[in-house]
Amino acid sequence: MFEDKVIPLDIWVSQFVEWLVENYRDVFQAIKWPIEQTLNGFDTGLNALPAVVVILLIGVAAWRFSGVLLAIFSVITMVLIGLLGLWPDSMTTLAMVLSSVVFCTVVGVPLGIIAGRSDRFEAIMRPILDAMQTTPAFVYLVPIVMLFSVGNVAGVLATIIFAVPPIIRLTSLGIRQVHPELVEAAQAFGATDWQVLRKVQVPLAMPTILAGLNQTIMMALSMVVIAALIGAGGLGSPVILGLNTLDIGRAVIGGLGIVLMAIVLDRITQSMAKTKG
């Protein structure tokens, strides 16, 4: 029935991406530059620091936002990652996650605030975010490689696309959950829109925004293995290498490293959200 009526969407998409590569390579290289610099900065810094310093910094952060128990757990977990021989890969993964989270926050929080204050903008953003969250990551790996080539930067870009929707959604939700009477009270005392946003809405929405940040970090970590398919390093590399060589031990160790790091980052960011609540 449909043999002669197939829409050649795949050909149109391929031609569009090829057109972008031929005509806008400079634009995509300009987009790539700040991400590359940020990633290189984090990667160089984390790998240059002695392991004990990084472990102490993570332990202090855990103690500051939660308490002694989480600090001890975090230190033991990071030491275990080092003892598994995954320290350089884990620092590269941490650099990729931090870079992704920085750009997700810079882009996502303002968009979430606008969506929280404008029904029309929220209606426009909703289908875009739905598409970003439901499109399989493998689908946009190909155009990303064509536009930005392979490597860690392409991996971070794919991670940003995958991980930014939660912080936009939860920032919007947090702004909308601020009680209207509090906003009206601030306006009654002569506060401007900017003062209402900065002094009332954002502080009260902060626990929800931090919950969005937590989800963004978790989704960024879930992209580690997929990003390794396009040449990104880190903890995804041993998993992919183990898969290709049927070395189950190597794959399990890589996966265990991702899980341990995810638990530490999840507990610390959850504690941050509770502290602000």
Domains of the chain: 28-275 (1.10.3720.10)
List, for residues 53-88, the tens digit of each pLDDT value: 999 999 999 998 888 998 999 999 999 999 998 999
On whether the CB atoms of residues 14 and 8 are closer than 8 A, the answer is: no
**pLDDT tier, 277 (very low <50, low <70, confident <90, very high otherwise):** low
CA distance 266 to 276: 16
Question: What number is the average pLDDT over the span 39-65?
Answer: 91
Residue 144 has pLDDT above 90, yes or no: no
Percent of the chain with pLDDT over 70: 99
**pLDDT tier, 106 (very low <50, low <70, confident <90, very high otherwise):** very high
**pLDDT tier, 176 (very low <50, low <70, confident <90, very high otherwise):** very high
Residue 253 has pLDDT above 80, yes or no: yes
Question: What number is the average pLDDT over the span 124-142?
Answer: 86
Dihedral angle at the C-alpha atoms of 22, 25, 27, 31, nearest 10 degrees? 140
The whole-number pLDDT of residue 142 equals 80
The whole-number pLDDT of residue 243 equals 85
On whether the CB atoms of residues 170 and 211 are closer than 8 A, the answer is: yes
CA distance 63 to 17: 48
